[in-house]
Amino acid sequence: MKVRLEVNNELVTKPIYNVIGTIVGREEPDRMVLIGSHRDAWAFGAIDATSAIAVTMEISRALGKYRSIEMTVC
């Protein structure tokens, strides 16, 4: 079987933005934990970056949920 594929992509450079969230600790507010991932890919396309982004977003969701529960209790 032969397939002919025509791709009409434009190679352009566009800005990307960092998303930063901060939760200040009660016991040691001057110390930090950084969690991050990249949104670009060198070789594997969306699979490479998307897997790390999915994990980072789940960590953020869980920490945000914990933070809102913690604030309600205090």
Is the pLDDT at 1 greater than 80? The verdict is yes
Tokens encoding 43: 């070789």
Determine contact, residues 17/39, Cβ cutoff 8 Å. Answer: no
Tokens encoding 30: 């001057």
For the chain, give every domain's residue range.
42-74
Whether this model's pTM surpasses 0.75: no
Chain-centre distance for alpha carbon 24: 20
Task: Find the angle CA(19)-CA(64)-CA(47) to the nearest 5 degrees.
Answer: 50
pLDDT tens, 38-55? 766 666 555 566 777 788
pLDDT tens, 21-41? 777 888 888 888 888 777 666
Residue with tokens 């604030």: 71
